[in-house]
Structure 1
């Protein structure tokens, strides 16, 4: 459907992250080029953290002032981790969080919050 709507895709092989052809190394480039280098912010759902961390890392290298935001449900484990530094689920939402209840290797180092040396500046737009 996306191709029918006119989207262009760059298909890359499923290879480990250390391989220069890993898909994470293409996501940020695509956004930067399609926006002609005019990117002030990027907000993404947490999932496994690969896209959030990869795009965040790339955009911060290109423009350190870019704001990177993580979206997850209020009370979900990753929401609590990014907003309060505590990895726990709370609340009684009928909808589950978007992704993880743990810090994956995708998030390790640069996919975590800026208070821990990562690229994520803020969590959610619930407020």
Structure 2
């Protein structure tokens, strides 16, 4: 496929995720379409695991990490959701580890750092 060709999904008539990500390498604003498609699902995934307020921050950070790492995306994968869920899961684990460390510090010192 030529570099400027668009892989349009014949059923929906829109570009697939991998094409949008590839286009965003030279036109960063195209990544907003990935956000529009998947932000709600990523937020729901995180909210079920950690609560809505923290999920707001982690969902935003998921897309920031994805945007910054978009040039490393494997464009042979047409659906970006597994990649985005992986990023979200890694951020969730990091958040949970941080929370556990804070509770342990609180238990040791009896002083709430907040």
Taking structure 2 as the reference length, the TM-score comes to 0.26
Q: Greater helix share, 1 or 2? A: 2
Q: Considering Cα pairs closer than 8 Å and 6+ residues apart, tell me whether 1 or 2 has the greater RCO.
A: 2
Q: Greater strand share, 1 or 2? A: 1
Taking structure 1 as the reference length, the TM-score comes to 0.24
Query: Could you say which structure has the larger radius of gyration?
Result: 2
